[in-house]
Amino acid sequence: MNSKGAALAQQLVPSTYVQQGLDAVRSREKLVTSLLAQRRLPDEGWDDASVELLLHTLSAMDSNNFRGSAGAGEREARVFSPLVARRHFYLAHGVGRSGDVAAVQPKAAGSSLMVQVANALAKDVLRLAGMRAVQAALVLPVATGMSLTLVLLQLKESKPHARYVIWPRIDQKSCFKSILAAGLTPLVLANVLVEEEDGRPGGFLKTDLAGMTALMDQYGSDSVLAVMSTTSCFAPRAYDCVEEIAKLCQERNIAHVINNAYGVQASKCVHQVELAMRTGRVDAAVQSLDKNFMVPVGGAIVCSASREVVNRVAQLYPGRASATPTLDFFITMLQMGKHGYKRLLEERKHLAAYMREQLEALAADEGERLLHVSNNEISFAMTLGTFCSNIMDLQEKSRQLTLLGAMLFSRGVSGARVVSCLDHKTIAGHEFNAFGAHHEAFPVAYVTFACALGMQRGEVDLLVTKLRKTIHEWRTKQAKAEATASTSPSESELEHGK
Amino acid sequence: MNSKGAALAQQLVPSTYVQQGLDAVRSREKLVTSLLAQRRLPDEGWDDASVELLLHTLSAMDSNNFRGSAGAGEREARVFSPLVARRHFYLAHGVGRSGDVAAVQPKAAGSSLMVQVANALAKDVLRLAGMRAVQAALVLPVATGMSLTLVLLQLKESKPHARYVIWPRIDQKSCFKSILAAGLTPLVLANVLVEEEDGRPGGFLKTDLAGMTALMDQYGSDSVLAVMSTTSCFAPRAYDCVEEIAKLCQERNIAHVINNAYGVQASKCVHQVELAMRTGRVDAAVQSLDKNFMVPVGGAIVCSASREVVNRVAQLYPGRASATPTLDFFITMLQMGKHGYKRLLEERKHLAAYMREQLEALAADEGERLLHVSNNEISFAMTLGTFCSNIMDLQEKSRQLTLLGAMLFSRGVSGARVVSCLDHKTIAGHEFNAFGAHHEAFPVAYVTFACALGMQRGEVDLLVTKLRKTIHEWRTKQAKAEATASTSPSESELEHGK
Amino acid sequence: MNSKGAALAQQLVPSTYVQQGLDAVRSREKLVTSLLAQRRLPDEGWDDASVELLLHTLSAMDSNNFRGSAGAGEREARVFSPLVARRHFYLAHGVGRSGDVAAVQPKAAGSSLMVQVANALAKDVLRLAGMRAVQAALVLPVATGMSLTLVLLQLKESKPHARYVIWPRIDQKSCFKSILAAGLTPLVLANVLVEEEDGRPGGFLKTDLAGMTALMDQYGSDSVLAVMSTTSCFAPRAYDCVEEIAKLCQERNIAHVINNAYGVQASKCVHQVELAMRTGRVDAAVQSLDKNFMVPVGGAIVCSASREVVNRVAQLYPGRASATPTLDFFITMLQMGKHGYKRLLEERKHLAAYMREQLEALAADEGERLLHVSNNEISFAMTLGTFCSNIMDLQEKSRQLTLLGAMLFSRGVSGARVVSCLDHKTIAGHEFNAFGAHHEAFPVAYVTFACALGMQRGEVDLLVTKLRKTIHEWRTKQAKAEATASTSPSESELEHGK
Amino acid sequence: MNSKGAALAQQLVPSTYVQQGLDAVRSREKLVTSLLAQRRLPDEGWDDASVELLLHTLSAMDSNNFRGSAGAGEREARVFSPLVARRHFYLAHGVGRSGDVAAVQPKAAGSSLMVQVANALAKDVLRLAGMRAVQAALVLPVATGMSLTLVLLQLKESKPHARYVIWPRIDQKSCFKSILAAGLTPLVLANVLVEEEDGRPGGFLKTDLAGMTALMDQYGSDSVLAVMSTTSCFAPRAYDCVEEIAKLCQERNIAHVINNAYGVQASKCVHQVELAMRTGRVDAAVQSLDKNFMVPVGGAIVCSASREVVNRVAQLYPGRASATPTLDFFITMLQMGKHGYKRLLEERKHLAAYMREQLEALAADEGERLLHVSNNEISFAMTLGTFCSNIMDLQEKSRQLTLLGAMLFSRGVSGARVVSCLDHKTIAGHEFNAFGAHHEAFPVAYVTFACALGMQRGEVDLLVTKLRKTIHEWRTKQAKAEATASTSPSESELEHGK
């Protein structure tokens, strides 16, 4: 409401009331001014009403919402469905421009402003989490896998004849496929198994730095475009030792991309990425929006210690894109605030410790244990050594273990992964023994659980209760099956266990 | 966004874009300024985004949305459910103050502003419809019936010993009960049946002015608090002749309240209320918000040629009330705009003519006719003279006719009313013969249909098709029943026909 | 999704996934089934999605949302603005029917179902709070004041010649006006001042039972329609001793209505109402929806140990009404759940104790004290004995004290009330000395603060900080004024202090 | 509501009402069943309530909305902000799976179902528009440019050594960059200028088929990966003659990708794509979601006469993606319906004819004309031959023409493009003379206007009025400048004219 409006309002409502009301409106404007000035997360999260007021103001600045204008272009952001228009807060022009996905749009000043601030907030939140070396960040409207592809395509522009990407094995399809999609050839580097000190079957997996050096030597710096390392992953794989990789890459003039998928939430992980950036070569790190910042799936942040790399990725992107991942992130950062985000990080840390304790207790009860993986603060692997130990048929063993996973899912535990170390998979011609285990001969089957940002204590308790119950049911089933030589589980029973 | 915000925005997005965007924001502010200055319906309706921006600005002016304040009262408009908060656009203080339902609230400048403007829009829209004599209007957060009670209670304050209300019979329970609820005694005035010129059973019903004069004389001006006349009603009852009643009331110093429930949508009806206000005594007219202005049920407008009467009604209301009816009306007037409202009135008028034609054609095919009621432009009554003409048992006849109504409802025709002229009803000790017919001896059964604001041409076509089909089914059923001496319809079959 | 839909879905998505999804849909249906079967607050609150799914299902059951139907009535619940339609979840028929505000509507099965359950939940939540004697409850779509009027109007129906209501003084306009609006005459009963044991100016106010008996005798049972007692109120007034009043009313055959405005949140208050209902006569108790259950202003619950009284109130209401207060309450009860509500009650209790401590400490620092009022758990009064103690001009003193209130409001403390004990007010011809103090000669000025449901600990801290600071500023201003013989505060400065 | 719920409801509301309500719920379920069975646009569009009910049912099927489950994965689709959750209707898992962007997700049966149906609707709507040859369609969650890149990357998989893409020049950056982003090299094919028959400067641009053949011969089928042709474009460029190109590609075994950006809305364009698919080689056609189907920017449909191609594109995509473009499209198709879509197509056709007429009249008044481009039904080019005809300095001329564009934009005409034929541009090392003109020596400057789907007649009128007025202002400015030798327009004045 402008001053003329305020004067008129005072003819209808006493001026002291109107003034106090307008003071409140002004204080919200100050929030906005402060956001635009600092381009950082607000200390305290904004309430819904403040966010909506800002978004409605921004959308009023986009040409598709101008009153009394004539749209004579081929793209005027007309929206047919009011349901759709509303869910976008009337912002319909997307992000970017043909030249650059981070560019501002003449027709959409409001959307453009939102995008610029969102990218600044992305940088701020990464730095808040501990990645102080980050100098530029970009919210990409595609998820982690596709973002990695874009980064690789961009790297390829300046080294068009290099066709290999060294990839320390991580059994997750998206990142592997991100290399293939870029038209590049992955060189799979097996992980090193570090066995348990007490000699029991287990251990953890770490980067084979010697093997990586050998590969670099074998193929040569001209042929190897990049190393794609991975931090956050399922135990018992540890974070890749990105600091050492960064040094190797710097020495050999090979690019280094870190798939830091959901690593922002874990302080040790963040610290290692930070060290890598400070002491070696990290062209870019990619992190998932949904996993780190609790928004719906669809975006990622690519960041770098160099503004130039980030700009080049933005400029590679051909054309416009959906504003949704950026908008979701923007809203969430405003509502979370710096204190809210710090609190979430803190809570996750404590909850992970609690989850570890609870799972260790359960494992002990079941004659199993949690694998010790120092460089993995998010995922826990509990051995299943006593499960199916007497089944000799490996295929049958794999099926029975998969059944445990399926049973967990259908009993309301999502995200648990049973790894039999017995599954073979072919992806685009590449063979992976014991897919899921990140290693072709991991010595014991296990099941993993993650403690991710936003998990609740009640969920951990529920998980442990349900896990205990499901194991019992599974064992009972096994006992019966042995007694009666029953058939193995059906395909449909197994669906969710895969 | 204030000027400081604009300057900062221009560091992120080129200033020409920002300026154009801010021009658009300003043009929306101008809409608001213009609304506050003129307090009339905008010429063109506002889009959703403009309305939402205004509402979010208003709610920011209410204390429950202030940031960093401490609520130390017993009523701080805290809202538990975000779903609920959002549906009220964060406006939670309701309307009014202990002293006056139209008063502004210190804690809620935004809500108060909305209420003041809504009341001004109520006056404007009534004047637009043709009620130029209206000098004040008030959106009451209660529906028509309760609004009538409030008006009567207010009238009673200044004439505490008068206990009668003369009520030309209209067979609709709410208005009758509105008199009882006020602790007053209705004097039921029978309508005059004006027979068809061709002598066929039918005719229409009009006010018995001589009877009214007689009642006034019989009870005396000191005992008769008011006449409650009715305009909009189901055919074949015509609008009461409010102009003549107004004159009578003026002569005898008796108050006159017009129940103009859904009459604003009909130009002839509006004209008669206008004449009554100009030439005689009309203390207040009450009109339904939902029926005249297409909002959910819950509010009414009380209006008068005298600001004082409206103020007194506002001051009678003890305490605060829901802001919802006012808010719904406010939003709707902004979105409808003057042109939109005029268009709706025009469309209804044409559609009513079309509906009359279609029904007349159907009636002719069925050996029936539409009753001619000159003073009723909304409701049409089609005779059912040939229906059940051979059933002698009146109760059975009534049941069979009711069945026709129930069949219509279950086949997707809502709002049709079959009037058998055979139902007896007792309301709070008052006996009504042939309830529903507004007359104790209307000569023929009939079914009524209304053409109300917002009805679509497709609905009229659907109505006629379904009516034709249902009549056929009903007649077939009757024929079968006669052949087999079947039982009459069950209670549950009849439910919707009542 | 019905079984045919499920089968088709399984052609598109593997059946195990679809089944698991449908299991989840079924589990939400079970929530609904359980709600309909038990008609009690769910143990745990529902999430937004479950509530929205239910509301969308209910609205699909209302005729205005039927597809392919023709609306031929005068009231078809057509809604012009999509913004409005959506905020009502497409429920537009309101509540009630001409005969009864609690009656079901043939055209609106979904709305009707919601209303029935909401009324059951109202009964349940009152019983949960401790009012076990309640046998029936009705959510009225009008706020406390108007609800009291309706209750009185209903009582009057069966005792039409009684015109007095005995009203132990409570300086709150709505309830006083509720008597006037019903066309009745209040007999104001002064409160008894119980002085402080240590003789300092202060004390608390309690019901003058002897005075009440005398009034009953003086006017006689035939003339006195009811006693309207008040529980929750601003300190230092205590709850009326409703148990004793109930006994008196029972003995004298006089109705008894309890204005339990925001008393449901306080266990001692609830207990006294419970005792009154069990041991004497309580025709009805009225409680505010917004103050007790954290919904926007607009509704109230009328309850009784007798289903009949509640039914009669419902039947008195002339016509339909807004569904909003009922819907807000319905959603809130589902989302709060039994545990959530209990937790809120518990939190308020602890916070009230904390607030008392903090205020006592502050009062001590300022040479003041908190008045001891055992029967008031919500409102606290801090004396202002040392404030303006040297101003002799009473009008000036009143102005300066009012200024303190205004300063508090403009510094972000809402709801604090400064009572100078010097203001005179006339309401509809009735004179009230020292209005605001509930007593015409309360010996000391004071300021009140309430700790109401939903208040946050942070708010209490903020209140105390701001109060301390404001007192300091006020004192400084006073000192300066004395030194310079300044003018008293302007009207506009005082606006919020009233 | 299940049958148990229905039975319980009938204890609260009469069974006939409940039954009728449930019939309505069932009729909505039938809509869903019919949608799942036919997987085609409904004949009539769905109302908001039906869409919301379906979406809420679908989201209830996704694991992030399961009640009482424990999320132990790294990705559990937890959403921090309720504002964000709600705008996604609680669907948060995105689309796709690591293996395939069209794959179903075990954790998200509801989202998966939506995606499957959306893809079927995409195929249906393209066929409705006239592309009957389409056998498979996929909604990609990236806009046109990036979709083209994905298609190229996929084609490259099976022909890894081919590095050229023949690209008939179209001066729009995204599609050119889509080739570069895929790491491929564009071979720019100049257009043929077909001059006006009457010899006036003008004419139109068409594909140089002979030149294309020559390029194919020159580089060879092994080196040329694909031709990327363009249909919809700015006049005076015509649609590429895709039928002939398709034949050439088939003969030479070269892939053919059609950038059919906004061509679905134009029947002649659709017809040519259809012919190309039927008679030659078209690997895939890509069409924009926002421009053809009135949703916010962010998605595209890739379609083909071969299911296999579409599947391969889906499988190339590495990982998950945002569900928003798919969801927006899904909602819009349901709400538009078959009839609504046909009506929009029809309206656009008529409006384009009207716009042509209006522009021709204006052009005649200004001494200009509309260029005749038979194969372009959407974009119109009006010559600016008399504008700046006396300015010799080409840079200044370009600036002055650009100013006209900027003036149009700031006067509320968006989307008009002034093409001076004088601008030079370098994109990634490729030089383009007269960028914007699609030809390096187009003989006359011009301004283009498009008549796109959803444009309103009022907008055309407004456009013509504003255009006339702006030309007048521009000419006045020119005249003054000449008189006073003024400076040329500033950078900021020109911003929007670019």
pLDDT, tens only, C396-413 = 999 999 999 999 999 999
CA-closest candidate to residue A417, choices A393, A432, A401, A397? A401
Please list the alpha-helical segments (H only) found in C220-374.
242-252, 267-279, 289-293, 307-316, 324-365
Query: Looking at the partner chain, which of C71, C83, C182 has a beta carbon nearest the beta carbon of B331?
Result: C83
Looking at per-residue confidence, does B493 or D114 come out higher?
Answer: D114
Quick one: tokens of A389?
């130990």
Mean pLDDT (chain D, rounded): 94
If you count residue pairs, one on B and one on C, with CB atoms under 8 Å apart, how many are there? 376
pLDDT at residue D400 greater than cutoff 70: yes
Q: Is residue D162 part of a domain?
A: yes
Last residue of a domain, one of C289, C310, C335: C335
- Give residue B114's pLDDT: 97
Q: Is residue C478 part of a domain?
A: yes
Query: Looking at the partner chain, which of A20, A82, A409 has a beta carbon nearest the beta carbon of C82?
Result: A82
Is B295 found in the same domain as B157? yes
Residue D217 CB-density burial (10 A; 0-12 exposed, 13-18 middle, 19+ buried): exposed
| Partners of C381 in the β-ladder | C448
CB contact under 8 A, A79 and D417: no
Mean pLDDT, to the nearest integer, of A305-314? 95
pLDDT at residue A491 greater than cutoff 90: no
d(CA B110, CA B90): 11
CA-closest candidate to residue C438, choices C171, C76, C116? C171
Q: What is the largest CA-CA distance in chain C?
A: 88
CB contact under 8 A, D80 and A316: no
Query: For a pLDDT cut of 70, what percent of chain B falls above it?
Result: 97
Mean pLDDT, to the nearest integer, of B300-329? 96
Is B476 found in the same domain as B346? yes
Radius of gyration, alpha carbons of chain A: 26
Mean pLDDT, to the nearest integer, of A443-452? 97
pLDDT at residue D428 greater than cutoff 90: no
Q: Is residue A392 part of a domain?
A: yes
- Give residue D285's pLDDT: 98
Quick one: tokens of C4?
């045919």
Determine the 3-state secondary structure of A206 from DSSP: strand
d(CA A10, CA A15): 5
Omega before C236 within 30 of 0, i.e. cis: yes
Is D237 found in the same domain as D328? yes
CB contact under 8 A, D53 and C50: no
Query: Looking at the partner chain, which of D318, D378, D414 has a beta carbon nearest the beta carbon of A149?
Result: D318
Mean pLDDT, to the nearest integer, of D35-48? 97
What is the per-residue pLDDT across A411-436, written as a single tens digit (0 to 9) for each?
Answer: 999 999 999 999 999 998 899 999 99
Is C352 found in the same domain as C448? yes
pLDDT at residue B488 greater than cutoff 90: no
Q: CA-CA-CA-CA torsion for D65, D71, D76, D80, nearest 10 degrees? A: 70
Is A418 found in the same domain as A399? yes
pLDDT at residue A493 greater than cutoff 80: no
Chains that touch C (3 or more CB pairs under 8 A): A, B, D
DSSP state of B284: E
d(CA A141, CA A164): 26
Using pLDDT thresholds of 50, 70 and 90, give the confidence band for residue B493: low
Query: Was D304 annotated as part of a binding site?
Result: no
Beta carbons of A144 and A286 less than 8 angstroms apart? yes
Omega before B443 within 30 of 0, i.e. cis: no
Q: Phi and psi of A20, rounded to 5°?
A: -60, -40
What is the per-residue pLDDT across B127-146, written as a single tens digit (0 to 9) for each?
Answer: 999 999 999 999 999 999 99
Quick one: tokens of B100?
């006056």
Last residue of a domain, one of A335, A367, A382: A335
Mean pLDDT (chain B, rounded): 94
Beta carbons of B254 and B216 less than 8 angstroms apart? yes
Instruction: Using the CB atoms, write b or e for C268-281: b if 16+ within 10 Å.
Output: ebbebbbbbbeebb
Amino acid at A7: A
pLDDT at residue B272 greater than cutoff 80: yes
User: How near does any CA of chain C get to the CA of B9, in Å?
Assistant: 30
CATH number at A469 reads: 3.90.1150.10
What is the per-residue pLDDT across B198-240, written as a single tens digit (0 to 9) for each?
Answer: 889 999 999 999 999 999 999 999 999 999 999 999 999 999 9
d(CA D181, CA A280): 27
Query: Was B163 annotated as part of a binding site?
Result: no
Interface predicted TM-score (ipTM) of this complex, two decimals: 0.96
- Give residue D401's pLDDT: 94
Those residues with Cβ within 8 angstroms of residue A145's Cβ, 6 or more apart along the chain or in another chain: A174, A175, A177, A178, A181, D98, D317, D318, D319, D320
d(CA A46, CA D490): 40
Locate the chain C residue with the closest alpha carbon to A412: C20
Chains that touch A (3 or more CB pairs under 8 A): B, C, D
Residue A17 CB-density burial (10 A; 0-12 exposed, 13-18 middle, 19+ buried): buried
pLDDT at residue A490 greater than cutoff 90: no
Q: Is residue C97 part of a domain?
A: no
Amino acid at C95: V
User: How near does any CA of chain D get to the CA of C340, in Å?
Assistant: 17
Is B371 found in the same domain as B232? no
Those residues with Cβ within 8 angstroms of residue D169's Cβ, 6 or more apart along the chain or in another chain: D188, D189, D190, D191, D432, D438, D439
Locate the chain B residue with the closest alpha carbon to D15: B492
d(CA B482, CA B496): 24
CB contact under 8 A, C336 and B157: no
Query: Was D97 annotated as part of a binding site?
Result: yes
Cα-Cα end-to-end distance for chain B: 57
Q: How many CB atoms lie within 10 A of CB D3?
A: 10
- Give residue B47's pLDDT: 94
Beta carbons of C191 and C229 less than 8 angstroms apart? no
Last residue of a domain, one of A335, A370, A391: A335
pLDDT at residue D89 greater than cutoff 80: yes
What is the per-residue pLDDT across C427-482, written as a single tens digit (0 to 9) for each?
Answer: 988 999 999 999 999 999 999 999 999 999 999 999 999 999 999 999 999 988 87
DSSP state of B80: S
Q: What is the largest CA-CA distance in chain A?
A: 88
Which chain A residues contact residue C493 at CB under 8 A? 16
Strands B136-140 and A185-189 come out as unpaired
Is D322 found in the same domain as D176? yes
Those residues with Cβ within 8 angstroms of residue B300's Cβ, 6 or more apart along the chain or in another chain: B139, B140, B142, B143, B144, B146, B147, B286, B287, B288, B289, B325
CB contact under 8 A, A76 and D455: yes
- DSSP codes of every residue in C449-494: EE--TT--HHHHHHHHHHHHHHHHHHHHHHHHHHHHTPPPPPHHHH
User: How near does any CA of chain B get to the CA of C473, in Å?
Assistant: 18
pLDDT at residue D272 greater than cutoff 80: yes
DSSP state of D312: H
Query: Looking at the partner chain, which of B17, B20, B495 has a beta carbon nearest the beta carbon of D16?
Result: B495
DSSP state of D80: S
Beta carbons of A307 and A102 less than 8 angstroms apart? no
Q: Report chain A residues touching chain C, CB-CB < 8 A.
A: 14-17, 20, 82, 409-410, 492-493, 495-496
Query: For a pLDDT cut of 90, what percent of chain B falls above it?
Result: 90
Q: Phi and psi of D412, rounded to 5°?
A: 95, 15
- Give residue B425's pLDDT: 93
Tally of residues, chain B? 498
| Partners of B211 in the β-ladder | none
Q: Phi and psi of A428, rounded to 5°?
A: 50, 45
CA-closest candidate to residue D315, choices D326, D327, D305, D307? D307
d(CA A418, CA A400): 10
Mean pLDDT, to the nearest integer, of D286-309? 97
Beta carbons of C148 and B317 less than 8 angstroms apart? no
- Give residue C388's pLDDT: 87
Q: Is residue C47 part of a domain?
A: no
pLDDT at residue D192 greater than cutoff 60: yes
Query: Was A320 annotated as part of a binding site?
Result: yes
pLDDT at residue B498 greater than cutoff 60: no
Radius of gyration, alpha carbons of chain B: 26
Query: For a pLDDT cut of 90, what percent of chain D falls above it?
Result: 90
Mean pLDDT, to the nearest integer, of C142-162? 96
Mean pLDDT, to the nearest integer, of D62-76? 93
d(CA D446, CA D196): 15
pLDDT at residue D495 greater than cutoff 60: no
Mean pLDDT, to the nearest integer, of D37-55? 96
Q: What is the largest CA-CA distance in chain D?
A: 88
Determine the 3-state secondary structure of C75 from DSSP: coil
Query: Was A411 annotated as part of a binding site?
Result: yes
| Partners of D446 in the β-ladder | D383, D419
d(CA C295, CA C299): 9
Q: How many CB atoms lie within 10 A of CB B321?
A: 27
The strands making up D446-450's β-sheet, listed across from edge to edge, are D379-383, D446-450, D417-419
Is B449 found in the same domain as B303? no
CA-closest candidate to residue A302, choices A274, A267, A244, A260? A260
Query: Looking at the partner chain, which of B63, B318, B336 has a beta carbon nearest the beta carbon of C80?
Result: B336
Strands A413-414 and D192-194 come out as unpaired
- Give residue A488's pLDDT: 64
CATH number at C205 reads: 3.40.640.10
Query: Was D278 annotated as part of a binding site?
Result: yes
Mean pLDDT, to the nearest integer, of D35-56? 96
Quick one: tokens of B31?
């809409």
Range of the domain at B26: 1-36
Q: How many CB atoms lie within 10 A of CB A429?
A: 6
Is C184 found in the same domain as C284? yes
Looking at per-residue confidence, does B485 or D424 come out higher?
Answer: D424
Mean pLDDT, to the nearest integer, of A304-313? 96
Is A355 found in the same domain as A230? no
Q: Is residue A118 part of a domain?
A: yes
pLDDT at residue A496 greater than cutoff 80: no
Cα-Cα end-to-end distance for chain A: 57
CA-closest candidate to residue D11, choices C319, C112, C61? C112
Locate the chain D residue with the closest alpha carbon to A265: D74
Using pLDDT thresholds of 50, 70 and 90, give the confidence band for residue A392: confident
| Partners of B136 in the β-ladder | B304
Give the number of domains in chain C: 3
- Give residue D481's pLDDT: 82
Using pLDDT thresholds of 50, 70 and 90, give the confidence band for residue C216: very high
Cα-Cα end-to-end distance for chain D: 57
Which chain B residues contact residue C498 at CB under 8 A? 106
Q: Is residue A352 part of a domain?
A: yes
Is C278 found in the same domain as C134? yes
CB contact under 8 A, C67 and D117: no
Mean pLDDT, to the nearest integer, of A449-473? 97
Q: CA-CA-CA-CA torsion for D446, D447, D451, D453, nearest 10 degrees? A: 120
What is the per-residue pLDDT across A97-143, written as a single tens digit (0 to 9) for each?
Answer: 877 898 999 999 999 999 999 999 999 999 999 999 999 999 999 99
What is the per-residue pLDDT across A337-377, written as a single tens digit (0 to 9) for each?
Answer: 999 999 999 999 999 999 999 999 999 999 999 999 989 99
Query: Looking at the partner chain, which of B157, B378, B466 has a beta carbon nearest the beta carbon of C74?
Result: B378
**Residue C213 Cα to chain centre, angstroms:** 28
Using pLDDT thresholds of 50, 70 and 90, give the confidence band for residue B253: very high
- Give residue D488's pLDDT: 64
Mean pLDDT, to the nearest integer, of D68-82? 95
Beta carbons of D282 and D242 less than 8 angstroms apart? yes
pLDDT at residue D184 greater than cutoff 70: yes
User: How near does any CA of chain C get to the CA of A411, in Å?
Assistant: 10
Q: How far is CA D93 from CA A184, B498, C19, in A?
A: 28, 50, 18
CA-closest candidate to residue D47, choices D455, D339, D295, D337? D337
Q: Is residue A471 part of a domain?
A: yes
Is B237 found in the same domain as B302? yes
